[in-house]
């Protein structure tokens, strides 16, 4: 992994205006659509390949034995398992029960004790200052109301506690993928792009007013597949956003999306003709709460 580390400036941090972050009137329908998207396919097949991100995040957030750790939008539990392996007392949450079941099976296989609860990151069922650390790997970024999500993460962590999350950057592979897919199947109107969580300025807008320190590190997770076609086959079948995008298109539309994905993957492949190796940039953020 390559990394560029910086302490995000806090001096001029101001909260986003309501015009920037206000949810659309149909926010409930959008959340239902998103929940159906992540419940489709089988994200756990993709998620398990990203385990190294959870391990790296747990180290960056300095997770310690005995600390109370909450993993939000946990998916199948990468940050959950990483924290539990460090002997923390972990609560793992997501609003897709099927994904929590996958995480619970992984924890059981390793003999790890974790509390799994169905919960929406925008309305966490925990008291203020309940946790020492809040984590999320490529999860919280997808909640439609960014300000509410950040507010809930801040609310449940104690003063002096840490919030650590990983989010794909706008410039990286997944940011480019989302723009490409959005050109074929437009996202809901009025919703801020999830990759804003991978932008340092947006992170400071969300967390700066309540933070003593924000440390941002740009890292790469490397996607490794046999070929562009192999990647498309796996992501079309298992990854909710691409699974749903293909399902929303007719035959001609699917062919066009497939061709554009091949072009993108070939353009970013650094593995040569014999394999697919695509660096995927993400932002690792650790916030220390006031």
The answer to whether the beta carbons of residues 116 and 103 sit under 8 Å apart is yes
| Count of Cβ atoms closer than 10 Å to residue 273 Cβ | 7
Residue 48 CB-density burial (10 A; 0-12 exposed, 13-18 middle, 19+ buried): middle
pLDDT of residue 6: 60
pLDDT category, 20, cuts 50, 70, 90? very low
pLDDT of residue 5: 53
pLDDT of residue 18: 42
Task: Give all domains of the chain, ordered by start, each with its CATH number.
Answer: 3-170+187-220+281-289 (3.40.50.150)
| Count of Cβ atoms closer than 10 Å to residue 103 Cβ | 25
- 39 or 173, which is more confident? 173
Mean pLDDT, range 116-124, rounded to an integer: 97
pLDDT of residue 187: 86
Given a cut of 80, whether residue 194 has pLDDT beyond it is yes
pLDDT of residue 9: 54
Residue 256 contacts by C-beta under 8 Å, 6 or more apart in sequence?
A: 184, 249
Grouping H, G, I as helix, E, B as strand and the rest as coil, residue 90 is strand
pLDDT of residue 45: 93
């Amino acid at each position: 992994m390559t990394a560029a580390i910086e302490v995000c400036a806090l001096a001029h941090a101001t909260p986003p205006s309501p015009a920037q972050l206000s949810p659309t009137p149909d926010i409930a329908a959008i959340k239902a659509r998103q929940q159906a998207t992540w419940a489709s396919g089988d994200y756990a097949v993709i998620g398990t390949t990203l385990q190294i991100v959870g391990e790296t995040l747990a180290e960056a957030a300095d997770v310690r034995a005995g600390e109370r750790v909450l993993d939000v939008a946990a998916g199948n539990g990468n940050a959950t398992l990483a924290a539990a392996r460090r002997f923390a007392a972990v609560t793992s949450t997501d609003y897709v029960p099927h994904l929590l079941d996958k995480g619970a099976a992984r924890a059981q296989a390793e003999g790890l004790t974790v509390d799994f609860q169905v919960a929406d990151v925008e309305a966490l069922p925990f008291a203020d200052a309940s946790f020492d650390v809040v984590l999320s790997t490529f999860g919280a970024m997808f909640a439609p109301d960014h300000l509410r999500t950040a507010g809930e993460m801040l609310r449940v962590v104690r003063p002096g506690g840490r919030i650590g999350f990983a989010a794909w950057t706008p410039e990286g592979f997944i940011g480019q993928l989302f723009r490409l897919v959005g050109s074929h199947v437009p996202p809901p109107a009025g919703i801020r792009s999830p990759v804003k969580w991978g932008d340092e300025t947006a992170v400071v807008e969300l967390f700066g007013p309540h933070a003593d320190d924000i440390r941002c590190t740009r890292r790469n997770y490397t996607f490794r597949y046999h070929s562009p076609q192999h990647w498309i086959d796996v992501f079309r079948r298992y990854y909710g956003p691409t699974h749903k995008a293909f399902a929303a298109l007719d035959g001609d539309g699917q062919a066009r999306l497939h061709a554009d994905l091949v072009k993108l993957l070939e353009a970013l492949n650094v593995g040569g003709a014999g394999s697919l190796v695509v660096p995927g940039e993400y932002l690792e953020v650790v916030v220390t709460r006031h």
